[in-house]
Amino acid sequence: MKTFVVGDIHGRCAQLRRLLDMLPRDESADTLVFLGDLIDRGPDAPGCVDVVLKLSQENPERVVCLRGNHEQMLLEFIEGTANLWITPVTGGERTFEQYVGKSLHITKEQDLDDARREIESSVPSEHLDFLHQLPYYHEDELAIYVHAGLDRTKHPRDTTPQSLLWMRDMEFYKNYKGKPCIFGHTPTPLLPLRGRVGRHGIYISHSAIGIDTGYSITSPLSCLSLPDFALYQAFADGHEEIHHITNFIPDTLRAMQKKAGITGKLPSAIH
Q: What is the pLDDT of residues 214-269, one digit of tens each?
A: 998 889 999 999 999 999 999 999 999 999 998 888 888 888 788 777 764 444 44
- The half-sphere exposure of 30 on its side-chain side, counting CA atoms within 13 A, is 16
Q: What is the pLDDT of residues 83-104, one digit of tens each?
A: 999 999 999 999 999 999 999 9
* Reported pTM: 0.94
Question: What mean pLDDT is predicted for residues 3-13?
Answer: 98
Q: What is the pLDDT of residues 124-176, one digit of tens each?
A: 999 999 999 999 999 999 999 999 999 877 899 999 999 999 999 999 999 99
Under 8 Å between Cβ of 47 and 80: no
105-135 residues labelled b (16+ CB within 10 A) or e (exposed): eeeeeeeeeebbebbbeebeeebbebbeebe
Residue 263's pLDDT is 60
Crossing angle of helices 125-132 and 69-79, rounded to 10°: 120
Residue 227's pLDDT is 94
